[in-house]
Chain A
Amino acid sequence: MVLNVNGAMHEVTVDPDVALLTVLRDYLNLTGSKYGCGEGACGACTVLINGNPTRSCITSAGTATNKEIITIEGLEKNRKLPPVQEAFLSTDAFQCSYCAPGMIMTVVALLKKNPAPNDDAIVKAMNGNICRCGTYPYILKAIQLAAKP
């Protein structure tokens, strides 16, 4: 099958029922998206499919063909980070950071839809993402910073 990931077409020989997360990580070496639960409950595997935040661990690769997939690796352009990641950098939000890629992809999708979300909207959009280190208040701060005009 052919997958459009981060603006490039990738030919992959794999059963279409294999999880997109597995294809990204094991076949395309895009290991920024993480496994955390395998049931779409923690958000660590979040990627954008046609702009929508999607749990790649419960999305079969076959359903993602002919769609635009963006992973954490696709955010950086010409060695420049987008404002969302810059906001996280200056907030120094995370501890172990394993949840960071999934968090950031969810934020990217949120801010695209709602450039100035209030706290309730942020919590609603982010509630599917777990940070077991408990850095939520700093993540919230980074999102508020990224959302500033």
Chain B
Amino acid sequence: MENQDHSQHPFEPTRDELPLRSNYHFELDRRKFFKIAGGGLIVAFVLKDLVSFADNDSLAESPSIAAGDVDAWIHIGKDGMVSVYTGKVEVGKNIRTSLSQIVSEELMVSLSSIKMIMGDTDLVPYDAGTFGSRTTPQMGTQLRKAAATARQALIEIAAKKWNSQATGLNTENGAVVNTVTKEKIGYGELANGQKLMMTISDTVPVIGAKDWKVAGRSIPKIDQRNFISGKHIYVSDMKLPGMLYGKVLRAPSYGSKLIDADLAVAKNIPGVVVVKDGDFIGVAAPDIKTATKALQSINAKWEEKKEHPSNSTIFGYLLKNPAGETSGRNSGTTNGDVERGLTEADFKHAVTYNIHYIAHVPLEPRAAVAEWVDGKLTAWTGTQRPFGVQEELAEVFRMDKKNIRVIMPDTGSGYGGKHSGETAIEAARLAKEAKKPVKVVWTREEEFTWAYFRPGGVIEVNAGVKKDGTLTAWKFINYNSGGAALDTLYKVGNKQVAHVRSNSPLRQGSYRGLAAPANVFARECHMDDLARLIKMDPLEFRIKNLEDDRLITVLRSAAQNFGWNVSKTKDHGHGIACGFDKGGYVGTCAEIKVNGDKEIKIVRITQAFECGAIINPHHLENQVMGSIVQGLGGALFEAIEFANGKILNSSLSAYRVPRFSDIPKIVIVLIDRKDLPSAGAGEAAIIGIAPAIRNAIMDATGKALNELPMLPNGSLA
């Protein structure tokens, strides 16, 4: 389909996995903040320290803040409620909980008096999106400072009120306390009648991790009761008065052109609205059965594209269809002379690793409800990028963003797969015609076919090593899979590392860890093979060539907790791998068993993980667990099958994802570095699992499985 979808949905996630923030700098009227939040105290985080809090002893409002500079803001109302406004969204990683913990800690208020307002483009400041493991290190840090600033401001207000020095005042449980007189005044009372707005100073003191009381604890998921009793309203659950159910006509294969469509029958069904606009044909009806019937009645003629690669020809296709080397971030590096390094080696080893396309399979498929009122569009949709969807809608409907509101209720997961706004566009187009709200929920088949995939790719690795374990050459070329975690973490004088883009026949985009699971797979398999060539223990070989102490620590920790040096049972194999991505360090060990019929069983996994100071131990462990389990799928059996421009396994009975019976014994070791800033944890923990299993299979059988997934049929036979 050659970029067809990219033009429809202009954001292509991997091209700018971390898009630059918008460049708008219109003046932000402080009245807007107070209009949203009501009177009280507001601390807005800004990138630049426009008005230093320290210099602003009168607590006067800042003259103006450029809207593009605000990242998040905190409001304290006269009822003492603390409202936190952020463009981040809850995809299931429980950031609603961890960000609340951070604010609670710094502001010294109970969790129950904190409300997180997330991902509503009318209420929260611009945010590029919730991806790239950036919420904790960036938004977390900003909110920490904003909360600390608000706390300082409340002390100042209390000092004025009491005519005392701020130094003698402290805060506890939502109140300022005079440590001498024991007088106490609640935040709400202090904020009452104020219309105070300030920016934060970068130098505001924050509480160190070792003194945390609320952060650092396993606080349960906020609103958990609603989720486990079916009361949380996901977008697919929404129902607005008069709402219609929408369906969209899909092409028979990628790249098809609509020639003609007979809409007459559909149009005659009572209550049905039919829209044809360019290649888009959709219907909306008072119930889903009628909508489906109307869609099926449409007789459409398509001109199908003739030549398509399939998953059996894809790797050659990707190599033969380059789209140029990447530039900038993740583009690779060249040091020394790889050819010379190879001649200096005692052993050389060249392998091509193949990576199949896989699907995210968020259990809640894409869904949106759209409504037009007086020319203003509101779209509720499950997306990791509400502001990105707002931009897509503005472009498609050629309208001003200020007339578009995108709201993201906590969604049924994403894993990097919900960056785009297809359903919002479709629902909005139908709603515009129907003059009624319209809901579009993709079927599983639509989600498998018309969303985007984790890119397939080919990774060529050629390396040289001396008998003593010194690496002499490292050549690592990634075709199409992506540039994340591309570079080696091992010492080597001569290296060439590059990512070459291909013209992908399938629409591709972000995925948990982006290309890191693929690149770490290739690197860690290759390192294991090199260790085997020189008959050195794979753990020892890695440590000899690593420089990063944090990586060495997780690797050692995984090995120790796993029992790396313990002797193995017959037909069992042990494998090890390590890696770093987006602030997270991971070491993974795996034990596998080969049964008589060459069936491979994963016996157990031990994974050590470190991402700085831990904010919520249970939720962190749960993220690491989720990464391991999702990683098992991509490692062992997940692959998109396609041919003739069609997805051949577009259902959950055909595309296998990990289930209960696939889960081995899993031990997770979390290393809490209270001396280091917290990093995100939703992605890096996925990178170690595939190579650890591959190396364990190699250990037991001598068979190198260099393609992901490794065991689509569960067996080596």
* Residue ranges of A at the interface with B (Cβ–Cβ < 8 Å): 14-15, 18, 22, 25-26, 29-39, 41-42, 44, 71-73, 75-76, 81, 85, 88-89, 92, 94-101, 104, 122-123, 126-140
Alpha-carbon distance A98/B231, docked complex (angstroms) = 11
Alpha-carbon distance A30/B657, docked complex (angstroms) = 28
Decide if B267 is an interface residue (CB 8 Å cutoff).
Answer: no
Pairwise interchain contact B230-A73, C-beta atoms closer than 8 A: yes
Given contacts A81-B229, A94-B227, A98-B234, whether A137 and B413 have CB atoms under 8 Å apart is no
Q: Could you list 14 further interchain pairs (A-B, Cβ under 8 angstroms) beyond the known A35-B441, A97-B412, A136-B660?
A: A22-B289, A26-B239, A32-B229, A92-B218, A92-B224, A94-B92, A95-B623, A95-B626, A96-B364, A97-B227, A101-B230, A127-B659, A130-B363, A137-B666
**How far in angstroms is the closest Cβ of chain B from A26?**
6
A residues in contact with B253, CB < 8 Å: none
A-B interface, 7 closest residue pairs, ranked by CB to CB distance from nearest: A32-B230, A96-B92, A134-B629, A98-B412, A31-B237, A97-B227, A72-B230
Picked from B230, B287, B412, the residue with its CB within 8 Å of the CB of A33 is B230
**How far in angstroms is the closest Cβ of chain A from B270?**
15
B residues in contact with A130, CB < 8 Å: 363, 652, 657, 659
Q: Mark B657-685, 1 if CB is under 8 A from A, else 0.
A: 11111010010000000000000000000
B residues in contact with A71, CB < 8 Å: 230
Which residue of chain A has its CB nearest to the CB of B626? Answer: A134
**How far in angstroms is the closest Cβ of chain B from A51?**
19
Decide if B566 is an interface residue (CB 8 Å cutoff).
Answer: no
B residues in contact with A137, CB < 8 Å: 625, 663, 666
Decide if B93 is an interface residue (CB 8 Å cutoff).
Answer: yes
Given contacts A94-B228, A133-B626, whether A34 and B289 have CB atoms under 8 Å apart is no
Pairwise interchain contact A132-B233, C-beta atoms closer than 8 A: no
Decide if B627 is an interface residue (CB 8 Å cutoff).
Answer: yes
Which residue of chain B has its CB nearest to the CB of A92? Answer: B220
B residues in contact with A41, CB < 8 Å: 651-653
B residues in contact with A31, CB < 8 Å: 230, 233-234, 237, 239
Pairwise interchain contact A126-B412, C-beta atoms closer than 8 A: no
Q: Mark B355-392, 1 if CB is under 8 A from A, else 0.
A: 00000011111000000000000000000000000000
Given contacts A94-B221, A132-B413, A133-B413, whether A15 and B651 have CB atoms under 8 Å apart is no
Pairwise interchain contact A132-B361, C-beta atoms closer than 8 A: yes
Pairwise interchain contact A99-B363, C-beta atoms closer than 8 A: yes
Which residue of chain A has its CB nearest to the CB of B616? Answer: A92
Picked from A36, A75, A92, A99, the residue with its CB within 8 Å of the CB of B618 is A92
Q: Which of A71, A85, A136 has the most CB of B within 10 A?
A: A136
Decide if B91 is an interface residue (CB 8 Å cutoff).
Answer: yes
Alpha-carbon distance A29/B412, docked complex (angstroms) = 19
Decide if B588 is an interface residue (CB 8 Å cutoff).
Answer: no
Pairwise interchain contact A39-B229, C-beta atoms closer than 8 A: no
Pairwise interchain contact B660-A123, C-beta atoms closer than 8 A: yes
Alpha-carbon distance A76/B626, docked complex (angstroms) = 29
SS of B interface (majority): loop
Picked from A39, A95, A97, A98, the residue with its CB within 8 Å of the CB of B652 is A39
Decide if B32 is an interface residue (CB 8 Å cutoff).
Answer: no
Q: Provide a sorted-by-A list of 23 A–B residue pairs whose CB atoms are within 8 angstroms.
A: A22-B289, A26-B245, A31-B233, A35-B365, A37-B653, A38-B443, A41-B653, A85-B229, A92-B218, A94-B227, A95-B94, A95-B413, A96-B91, A96-B411, A97-B412, A101-B229, A132-B361, A133-B630, A134-B626, A134-B627, A135-B622, A137-B663, A138-B622
Pairwise interchain contact A100-B228, C-beta atoms closer than 8 A: yes
Decide if B444 is an interface residue (CB 8 Å cutoff).
Answer: yes
Given contacts A35-B236, A85-B229, A136-B660, whether A42 and B363 have CB atoms under 8 Å apart is yes
**How far in angstroms is the closest Cβ of chain A from B271?**
14
**How far in angstroms is the closest Cβ of chain B from A20?**
13
A residues in contact with B491, CB < 8 Å: none
A residues in contact with B92, CB < 8 Å: 94-98, 133
Alpha-carbon distance A95/B412, docked complex (angstroms) = 9
Q: Which of A36, A37, A96, A98 has the most CB of B within 10 A?
A: A96
Alpha-carbon distance A32/B651, docked complex (angstroms) = 22
Alpha-carbon distance A92/B622, docked complex (angstroms) = 9
A residues in contact with B627, CB < 8 Å: 134
Decide if B288 is an interface residue (CB 8 Å cutoff).
Answer: yes
**How far in angstroms is the closest Cβ of chain A from B653?**
4
Pairwise interchain contact A97-B228, C-beta atoms closer than 8 A: yes
Interface residues of B in 196-224 (CB under 8 A from A): 218, 220-221, 224
Decide if B35 is an interface residue (CB 8 Å cutoff).
Answer: no
Pairwise interchain contact A72-B657, C-beta atoms closer than 8 A: no
**How far in angstroms is the closest Cβ of chain B from A145?**
13
Which residue of chain B has its CB nearest to the CB of A22? Answer: B288
**How far in angstroms is the closest Cβ of chain A from B624?**
10
B residues in contact with A128, CB < 8 Å: 659
Pairwise interchain contact B289-A100, C-beta atoms closer than 8 A: no
**How far in angstroms is the closest Cβ of chain B from A144?**
13
B residues in contact with A44, CB < 8 Å: 363
Interface residues of B in 397-441 (CB under 8 A from A): 410-413, 415, 441
Q: Which of B227, B361, B657 has the most CB of A within 10 A?
A: B227
Which residue of chain B has its CB nearest to the CB of A40? Answer: B653
Q: Which of B230, B289, B629 has the most CB of A within 10 A?
A: B230
Alpha-carbon distance A76/B94, docked complex (angstroms) = 24
Which residue of chain A has its CB nearest to the CB of B619? Answer: A92
Which residue of chain B has its CB nearest to the CB of A104? Answer: B228
Pairwise interchain contact B224-A89, C-beta atoms closer than 8 A: yes
Pairwise interchain contact B233-A92, C-beta atoms closer than 8 A: no
Given contacts A29-B239, A98-B412, whether A92 and B221 have CB atoms under 8 Å apart is yes
A residues in contact with B361, CB < 8 Å: 132
Q: Which of B443, B653, B659 has the most CB of A within 10 A?
A: B659
A residues in contact with B441, CB < 8 Å: 35
Alpha-carbon distance A71/B230, docked complex (angstroms) = 9
Alpha-carbon distance A100/B445, docked complex (angstroms) = 22
Pairwise interchain contact A36-B363, C-beta atoms closer than 8 A: yes
Pairwise interchain contact A89-B220, C-beta atoms closer than 8 A: yes
